Structure 1
């Protein structure tokens, strides 16, 4: 499991149920054999069905208390303070340093999980299977953990943008002393461009995501949001940049038209 949040959620099963290692092994086997279905993540609750040895699938519920509003305000403040946090979430990655910032604000994205299975057993393989399935969902999409704690993806992005615009309103930005600028760097690169090695990041799940998460700039009065207006341009520019970085013929157009 390549996500810190997913791994940490999986480890909570072991911490909550010491000595249930065999249940975890059986649960992983159930998950790998495709016998875990209908896993749904909502505020404070994960539900799932497991096809065990009986004809009727068993229902498993995992409960984790949502963060309260005061805690969510601290989460939003942390996300709004660093654009890179939300950008990494949009890329399906865990934001570096976010957990430490939240812990400093006395907020944890993890907490005690209670579990129940319709067969009445505690720490059974069915609970382990749904627990591991949830961990895999969090690993694939960190927004799933935030949804479990009380904020879905769209609401979280909207509230983060609002918090960012509110926090920046009326705050003057530090300028740069013109005397420190070197005019020779305005038209010449400091290094040979041919020496640059370009690494391609995976294409984002949300096209023009960073633009959308920033929200409208102060004073924006357009009939549409800045994100909707400029997103097509950003998406086309990103496609063109990717094409230039990978094409054998830089004179060709994305899509192979070969026309300028």
Structure 2
């Protein structure tokens, strides 16, 4: 098979040293349901027959580089010409307002974030997007754009097709890349989910900023508390034998002063 009027009929592509290659050497490319879903979407757009043209390119390392950023994937693919072709795959990104709704819905389902961190795309996540009136994967060809600098007029050409297969395998390895392609990178998304799931103080509860941070008091938690010092009395305590009687004040029984009767006894004891 040859490219249209640009490459020589039946010409072999220039060999690439260290090019990107598919892990699968034969048969199906996608291993997980979400990357398989991506390939199924492309085939549903009538690209199935043309996609197969690029599978050999993807398996023999003709793709020199593949980079993903918000809404666009760019690949450099070597053909039979001296310079590589640039293949681009674009998708409509979600708006900031859409992402606010998506993040709130994901924060309400903690298991979704846990599965994503474990390298797995939750099977129910498509239903979550549908409930918000959105589609995780492109719903129609209008949501995607493809172009290549090669002279082949068919879309996808084999250079684009090779990039699509490698993109599917990158989704296998990290499902966060699907979300990054739609406009929200891994770190930003996880940080936002942490903020949304952080416990909030009850209404009317004042926060005492004078309280020490928890990590500064954990080491001393199991230590025996120190005894508090006893404050000194306001007046010095006298030490003469009758001092206690003086502190009692006047005390009498049947007209006789008890304190006076006890003073001789206290003097002898002293």
Q: TM-score, normalised on structure 2? A: 0.59
Cα distance in 2 for partners of 1:79, 1:67 equals 15
Aligned to 1:87: 114
Cα distance in 2 for partners of 1:124, 1:102 equals 31
Cα distance in 2 for partners of 1:139, 1:126 equals 20
Contact 1:47/1:59 (8 A) holds in 2: yes
Cα distance in 1 for partners of 2:67, 2:214 equals 37
Q: Deviations over 1:99-152 (max 9, x none)?
A: 112211212112222100001432211111111111111111001111100111
Structure 1 residue 157 corresponds to structure 2 residue 176: no
Cα distance in 1 for partners of 2:213, 2:63 equals 48
Structure 1 residue 35 corresponds to structure 2 residue 65: no
Largest Rg, 1 or 2:
2
Q: List alignment gaps of at least 5 residues for structure 2.
A: 1-29, 204-208, 216-270
Aligned length: 174
Q: List alignment gaps of at least 5 residues for structure 1.
A: 173-218, 225-260
Structure 1 residue 140 corresponds to structure 2 residue 173: yes
Residue 222 of structure 1, CA deviation = 4.6
Cα distance in 2 for partners of 1:15, 1:106 equals 21
Going from structure 1 to structure 2, the CA distance change for 1:124 and 1:73 (only over 3 Å counts) comes to: same
Residue 17 of structure 1, CA deviation = 3.5
- Name the SS for the 1:5 alignment partner: helix
Contact 1:59/1:117 (8 A) holds in 2: yes
Cα distance in 1 for partners of 2:43, 2:214 equals 53
Residue 13 of structure 1, CA deviation = 2.4
Q: TM-score, normalised on structure 1? A: 0.61
Aligned to 1:3: 32
Tell me which stretches of 4 or more aligned residues in structure 1 moved more than 2 Å: 15-18, 168-172, 219-224
2:164 to 131, 145, 152: 131
Going from structure 1 to structure 2, the CA distance change for 1:171 and 1:86 (only over 3 Å counts) comes to: farther
Contact 1:92/1:140 (8 A) holds in 2: yes
Point out the structure with the larger helix share. 1
Going from structure 1 to structure 2, the CA distance change for 1:85 and 1:221 (only over 3 Å counts) comes to: farther
Q: Deviations over 1:11-34 (max 9, x none)?
A: 23222344x51x322211110111
